[in-house]
Amino acid sequence: MKVLVVGPGASWSTADVEAGLIDGLQQQGVTVIAYALDGRISGASRWLHDAWRRKKKTQPDVPKPSYPDVIYQAGMGALERALRHQVDAVIIVSGMYLHPDVVVLMRRAGLTITALLTETPYDLEQELKFAEMCHGVWTPERTTVARFESVCPNVSYLPHAWHPLRHTPEPSQDARCADLPHHDVVFVGTGFRERVEWFKAIDWTDIDLGLYGSWDALGSRDGLRRYVRGKETDNIITAELYRRAKVGLNLFRSSKGFGRGAPRLVPGAAESLSPRVYELAACGSFFVSDIRSEVAEVFGDLVPTFKHPTEAAALIRSWLVNDAGRARVAAQLPAKVAESTWRHRAVQVMTELRSLVARRQVA
């Protein structure tokens, strides 16, 4: 089977989902035609704005390229790629940066369009609109399946996963990892407002805390900024940071969007695990987490959980001095997610995708 995989348009986080999915599909014997949307977005932006600046010299009132102009220019090549290679189906990862007209034209061309969603439940309303254009979707949040079924005929719950070539207990041989620090506590993720508030509520005195990712919400003089040790990192570096830390930290997102005024999920609205949880466990890294239903379902009592920062602070300090206990727990974590790799997930994806394609051919 030949499948076009359209990238998410982001170079971090969801790009790791794309990489894991492609590896899993290829292990299933699928011929993957990859369409890297992130590089095309930046390229389209440069091209359109350069053309606009040149045109403005002779036509001052020519409109400046808009964001929809950029993503339309960046994404339309996916249609050409699908038709050129005569793919059996298209899998769009995320879809948040793909112009909807691209999907409309793919459908007109008779292509089977599916999406592996990544932002559920945080951007649920936007994803529902995107799912309505697809023949099938996979959602990583089990509580949203019924909502997607109301707009799309083929919906499945597909949990997040980890990449078997990147998330292992063995140290990385990548030269970029040689000088990475060994933090007491490490967190890799975006600094949403609720996370900023959470970290500010804890006294980090005498604890080597390492924050990585996008923390632009912090002011230039914010005291928490001293703990920001790096920006966005790929999965190779992230995994090594996890392996070297004494305590990994998982904080589930609650913001539905960005900024101070972004609404938040109500407690209990989400039940499923994030990629971070699977990756920490696969790396054999001891970690603590806030509560979601699947944490206990997957790990039992191996992952200490907390409800608020005060409880988390006590957990962290108690485990930091318990080297033997951390090692005992960490050694058991990889087995808990052994069958949650992208190679395992790809089996489900291809079983359902082949069935969908076959049904559409009969129809």
> 331-341, pLDDT tens digit by residue?
999 999 999 99
Question: In this structure, are 149 and 14 located in the same domain?
Answer: yes
Number of domains into which the chain is organized:
2
Question: In this structure, are 125 and 109 located in the same domain?
Answer: yes
**Per-residue pLDDT band at 257 (split at 50, 70, 90):** confident
Q: 219: which 2 tokens?
A: 């002011």
> 299-355, pLDDT tens digit by residue?
999 999 999 999 999 999 999 999 999 999 999 999 999 999 999 999 999 999 999
Question: In this structure, are 88 and 179 located in the same domain?
Answer: no
How does the average pLDDT of the chain come out, rounded? Answer: 96
- Percentage of the chain surpassing pLDDT 90? 92
**Per-residue pLDDT band at 267 (split at 50, 70, 90):** confident
Question: In this structure, are 285 and 228 located in the same domain?
Answer: yes
> 77-100, pLDDT tens digit by residue?
999 999 999 999 999 999 999 999
Q: 209: which 2 tokens?
A: 């805390």
Torsion, CA 158, CA 160, CA 161, CA 163, rounded to 10: 110
Domain that includes residue 141, residue range: 2-161+341-362
For residue 80, tell me if it sits in a domain.
yes
**Other C-beta atoms lying within 10 Å of the C-beta of residue 158:** 20
**Per-residue pLDDT band at 110 (split at 50, 70, 90):** very high
Does residue 215 register a pLDDT over 90?
yes
Question: In this structure, are 235 and 254 located in the same domain?
Answer: yes
Q: 152: which 2 tokens?
A: 């799309």
The sheet with strand 247-250 has its strands ordered as 228-230, 209-212, 185-188, 247-250, 287-290, 305-306
Single out the residue of 270, 233, 276, 269 nearest to residue 251, CA to CA: 276
SS3 state of residue 218: coil
Q: Which CATH number characterizes residue 62's domain? A: 3.40.50.2000
Q: What is the mean pLDDT of residues 279-289?
A: 98
For residue 166, tell me if it sits in a domain.
no
Phi–psi pair at 352, nearest 5 degrees = -75, -35
Phi–psi pair at 23, nearest 5 degrees = -60, -45
Question: In this structure, are 52 and 81 located in the same domain?
Answer: yes
Does residue 261 register a pLDDT over 90?
no
Question: In this structure, are 287 and 350 located in the same domain?
Answer: no
- Percentage of the chain surpassing pLDDT 70? 100
For residue 168, tell me if it sits in a domain.
no
pTM, two decimal places: 0.95
Question: In this structure, are 325 and 357 located in the same domain?
Answer: no
> 13-70, pLDDT tens digit by residue?
899 999 999 999 999 999 999 999 999 999 999 999 999 999 999 999 999 999 999 9
Give the dihedral sign, CA 164/168/173/177. positive
